[in-house]
Structure 1
């Protein structure tokens, strides 16, 4: 601070040596001026012949005054007009009040801190980092999911942190070299189930990938979480495919009814309804299926891939439920819309065959562990138990979202027979 309040302090000197203004010298000038008071002078010396020209333009844009400096004897430089300077270039900058510049009147994208989330971010913020000082004049990308309550869940930042730390490498996390020598019919059952899982995981990859491109980047934790979710599903597609082809180069079958069921997920434009159908109902049911396959896996590779997928899917379901809980708290009519989505999907799939019978038979074979009538009977009983566990899980999640128990039971019964 100046020893005399109200008066500019003494002149400060800055030697730029031979550094050209356009190659970083402006940073040194800017840094020196930042420590001065308005009106205080900065004496600049340099050997760049064009220093004064560039310095003059820069000062005009930043609200500072500039004049030629004096030689050490106190006289102005005696260079010939238009000729090259015969000695160091000297200039004196009088620090201005800080404007005008391109940041005058600029607002921040949210609060000053990166966690300053707002309910309705400005479209003009575009791809700017949350908390950044945003210059006007850039194009405003169109993000239709641009309200906090449309996409948010308080748990999103924690789930993203967990997702980022829990990533696994398909090449090393699965014991691909473990012995897998199953009877042909059991291996065929594994291949069929893996084929079915790939089909469903490809749908589960497309849905979050489509949604995240519509979310305003201000809600970056949700964008990041959905991006990791899509990456999770891509990894699941890889390991399920690799397990299916581990012993034979032939995949299983894909039913028209199964693909019709999944197609309904891909066309749902509403963020809440898509999250509900995919994560709460579909992936929620898949948690039961993956646990079932973990218990009845006939080899260590199959057990590893379904166990790794389960830990990822549990996170996807957690976000879907948390988001819908938040959404229900601000939209009283949400439960009616969720019910309508279930009923519409049921009506659309009423005439389809539902779950691929080859998949159901493969699950029975895996659960049976043998071909004796009693073993097949036990396997069938285990699969019926799986269906009951899926139903109970859906009902629990529906009740958590505020549905009465009897309505939750009715809606769960309408869920697609294809599980997802």
Structure 2
């Protein structure tokens, strides 16, 4: 190996095959004004070396009394290239700055950034808006917890007793509804991801995994709906209107609040309900797997907003306004698809007897109460007093998400 600063013999190696790497390494071993003699057998070495030296700001000379030998004197110009350079924070989470400049762009956190280059359009660029200390741990957990629909679910599993056709239709209707809602839950983090400054890479990674989770949920719910060849269920105008308000929210914190804290938080109870009352093992399994994923999404949403509200106590006013604004926008819609409500009652009932239907109806009412209780608990964690948390929970969309 060549010792930096020593005479450099390139042998037959030319610049078109990487000789510049050895020359550059040799020059780094001497101070400005220091000299390195380069020898080589490539016929074009002198031409290429002269051009390279001029471009990098070094002095070039031919050694007159020696064949194919050239002298390089390290110049200051290459050092000037990095004058004014800055570090983009430090690599780990402790090195995050409050507001990374747009000029840092896609550079890795901790990289030495050469001056110049374009500004980028990442508009979610403030730590207090996007960061949560839990984000790195949640991402590590999420990455380790990814599952493959082809292997995590036994799609050939059969129930102990055949599922009646009308109960199967109820499952299909609920799956159709879940697909619709999970597609909204996919689009929202994907849209936010594209706006987050890459300096907050753990948040980007977490949003990317969240979108991947939702894409997987769409897949398994669609596959379960079509498992026995029946047609998909219905999609209500009120349900789509409710989800449209999520897509229309541009603020990162408010979108996270409405989707993850309230919507997906309510879905935790719904997925638990489906796992408990599923008439077949496939439905129970996919409800369980999706619930584990959704719990992570809710945890990030709550952690993010807890972090932000600690910095800005006025945030709660904005959260309240977001709930009220969404409620006012949906006040004239029908809310939850009636076909979905009926399907949930039938699944909880398990049969068509009047006593079973009454029992199923009561269990769906218990589901509503469980959703409300979970929302109130999460709102309390964000600093809302109990009476206000109860009031705001009651204003949440009847579509659940």
Same fold (TM over 0.5): yes
Q: TM-score, normalised on structure 1?
A: 0.90
What is the deviation of 1:113?
A: 6.1
**Alpha carbons 1:114, 1:131 under 8 Å: kept:** no
Give the structure 2 partner of residue 5 of structure 1: none
Cα distance in 2 for residues equivalent to 1:345 and 1:95: 66
Structure 2 residue 156 is the aligned partner of structure 1 residue 162:
no
Structure 2 residue 173 is the aligned partner of structure 1 residue 179:
no
Give the structure 1 partner of residue 361 of structure 2: 380
Q: SS state of the match for residue 139, structure 2?
A: helix
What is the deviation of 1:141?
A: 1.7
Structure 2 gaps, min length 5: none
**Alpha carbons 1:21, 1:54 under 8 Å: kept:** yes
For residues 333-370 of structure 1, the C-alpha deviation after alignment (integer angstroms, 9 at most, x for no partner) is 11011001111111111111111111111111111112
Q: TM-score, normalised on structure 2?
A: 0.95
Q: SS state of the match for residue 154, structure 2?
A: coil
Cα distance in 2 for residues equivalent to 1:110 and 1:20: 38
Aligned to 1:199, which of 177, 180, 188? 180
Q: 1:349 to 1:121 in 2, by over 3 A?
A: same
Give the structure 1 partner of residue 84 of structure 2: 105
Give the structure 1 partner of residue 116 of structure 2: 137
Cα distance in 1 for residues equivalent to 2:384 and 2:94: 33
- Report the structure number with the largest CA radius of gyration: 1
What is the deviation of 1:23?
A: 2.2
Q: Give the count of matched residue pairs.
A: 397
Give the structure 1 partner of residue 260 of structure 2: 279
Cα distance in 2 for residues equivalent to 1:48 and 1:189: 77
What is the deviation of 1:112?
A: 6.5
Cα distance in 2 for residues equivalent to 1:10 and 1:414: 71
Q: 1:248 to 1:10 in 2, by over 3 A?
A: closer
What is the deviation of 1:119?
A: 0.8
Alignment of 1:16-415 (within 5 A): 16-70=10-64, 75=65, 88-96=67-75, 99-111=78-90, 116-179=95-158, 181-415=162-396
**Alpha carbons 1:286, 1:419 under 8 Å: kept:** yes
Structure 1 gaps, min length 5: 1-8, 78-87
Cα distance in 2 for residues equivalent to 1:92 and 1:263: 69
**Alpha carbons 2:323, 2:396 under 8 Å: kept:** yes
Q: 1:30 to 1:115 in 2, by over 3 A?
A: farther
What is the deviation of 1:98?
A: 7.0
What is the deviation of 1:241?
A: 0.4
Q: SS state of the match for residue 163, structure 2?
A: coil
**Alpha carbons 1:62, 1:100 under 8 Å: kept:** no
For residues 200-228 of structure 1, the C-alpha deviation after alignment (integer angstroms, 9 at most, x for no partner) is 00110111011111111111111111111
**Alpha carbons 1:155, 1:322 under 8 Å: kept:** yes
Q: SS state of the match for residue 416, structure 1?
A: coil
**RMSD over aligned Cα atoms:** 1.8
Q: 1:129 to 1:11 in 2, by over 3 A?
A: closer
**Alpha carbons 1:244, 1:251 under 8 Å: kept:** yes
**Alpha carbons 1:285, 1:394 under 8 Å: kept:** yes
Q: Which moved more, 1:113-122 or 1:394-403?
A: 113-122
